[in-house]
Amino acid sequence: MTQRKSAVILGAQWGDEGKGKIVDVLSGHFDVVARYAGGHNAGHTVIISGKRFVLQLIPCGVLRPECKGVIGNGVVLDPMAFLSEVKKLREAGLPIEGGPGGQLFVSNRAQVILPYHRMIELAAENAPGRTKIGTTSRGIGPAYEDKMHRNGLRVVDLLNPSLLRTHINNACHEKNTIAHALFGTEPLDPKQMYEEYARAAEQLAPFVTDTAVLLNDAIRAGQKVMFEGAQGALLDIDHGTYPFVTSSSSTAGGAVTGTGVGPTRMGTVIGVTKAYVTRVGEGPFPTEINDSSAELLRARGQEYGAVTGRPRRCGWLDLPLLRYSNMINSTEWLVVTKMDVMDECAEIPVCTHYKVDGKLTDTIPADMRGFDLIEPVFTTLKGWSCSTEGVTEFERLPLLAQEYLTFLEKESGARIGMVSTGPDRDQTITLPAFAETLSA
């Protein structure tokens, strides 16, 4: 069987690029959508016929009955969050099932988030003397810490009651002691925790399988897999703006380790970038806007976190960071989202380079001090000042909007494959060369 082209799709910036909608639109071209990193800190908003779905863990692919969803081994899974999402989807009329003939599968090697992970994270984030990251408080970091410390609980072990009981007893003893000693936190009750999680395990069991085998078999059988990233490349634990990052490999490399499919099977890499930039939480943001234009973008773009509701920081397009993101991911295609949000901007500054000590540079600093020294250099493009909402053909965009996109493409080093002109599935432009790649 010839191998058809799979794809990794990921956020090119700090998350919230609008991947949910794009994965949903593209999932029509794929047989399987597999999440490879993060947990329920991600929030993918999808609007179908005016109905809004926010998915945090489950890949949006499952919104199409013919598409399978996989939660890969690189994900940290909160069983309660997973089950409540399944319930929500079923209530919306989607018959989500696991097992043979089912649509949704969870890796037996994924790590489990337990209540003490949240307890430790909340206490540590608020502790004096610690660098506040502004996390989503979902226990993501501590769950990955336990994974790397070889002290975590995997899904396969969650399904084994006696192992689960021993793990919870030992872990609670350790975490309660640490949290109390360091932060004065009240202890969690291991007996109650065991009972809740043993019940959850029973409901989770039908979804659990060896997803690396499932994915490799699917590819060998000629199926196409979309490897769905969460967060964005600049929140990657290695390549992002450390320490203001998440705790997983959100870049394209994470798709390999996070699913058990090797790099030669990944196909292409698609980066999703907003036409501008946003960030939630703390950390450097060279093109952040500090005047009323930020409010305009925030209001028009509904820039509030899908998971936490926090207002997002807004900024102009940052080409040095986009080029960096395209480099570390080997991004071939870009999808530009939220084009219509800039319809009312009379002028659009775009950062083309950084200046450090009076010299132009494209180097992305590894340390936070380096970011403090950056002076962004802007080119100001003329805004198109008319509606692009719902436009579905590139040629029907106002000329100045076309010029903006052409400039972005030329400067970023990747080809634009799609442009999103509104939140609905249909408000999308697909460029012909990209459509050809998708149908291969």
Binding site for ligand IMP (CB under 6 A): 14-16, 41-43, 133-136, 138, 140-141, 230-231, 235, 244, 246-247, 280-281
Alpha carbon 181 to chain centroid, angstroms: 34
Place of tokens 């919306």: 92
C-alpha 422/C-alpha 52 separation (Å) is 13
**Distance linking the first and last C-alpha atoms of the chain:** 14
**What's the closest the beta carbon of residue 351 comes to ligand IMP, in angstroms?**
20
DSSP one-letter code for 288: B
User: Considering beta carbons, is residue 303 or 332 the nearer one to ligand IMP?
Assistant: 303
Structure tokens at 44: 């993918």
Helix (H, G, I), strand (E, B) or coil at 298: helix
CB of 220 or CB of 310, closer to ligand IMP:
310
Residue 173 falls in the annotated catalytic set: no
Phi/psi region, residue 380 (left: phi>0; alpha: psi -120 to 50; beta: rest), is beta
DSSP-assigned beta bridge partners for residue 377: 353
Bridge partner list, 311: 304
Of residues 250 and 259, the one with the C-beta less far from ligand IMP: 250
| CB 227 to ligand IMP: min, Å | 16
CB of 344 to ligand IMP, least distance (A): 25
Using CA atoms in the order 424, 426, 432, 434, what is the torsion angle rounded to 10 degrees? 40
Residue 55 vs 405, nearer CB to ligand IMP: 55
Q: 161 is written with which tokens? A: 């009651």
Q: Which amino acid is at 408?
A: L
Shortest reach from residue 95's CB to ligand IMP, in Å: 27
Output 43 or 115, the one with its CB closest to ligand IMP. 43
29 tagged catalytic: no
Dihedral of alpha carbons 405, 411, 412, 414, sign: positive
For residue 305, the minimal CB distance to ligand IMP (Å) is 7
We find the least distance from the C-beta atom of residue 231 to ligand IMP, in angstroms, to be 5
Which of 14, 316 has the CB closer to ligand IMP? 14
Report how far residue 36's alpha carbon sits from residue 8's, in angstroms, rounded to the nearest whole number: 10
- 198-215 b/e (C-beta count within 10 Å ≥ 16 → b): bebbeebeebbbbbbebb
Task: Compute the least distance from the CB of residue 134 to ligand IMP, in Å.
Answer: 5
Q: Rounded CA gap, 207 and 205, in Å?
A: 5
Q: Are 219 and 265 in contact (CB under 8 A)?
A: yes
Q: Which residue's CB comes closest to ligand IMP?
A: 281
Is the sign of the CA dihedral 317, 321, 327, 331 positive or negative?
negative
Catalytic site residue from 24, 31, 44, 167: 44
Q: List the catalytic residues.
A: 16, 44
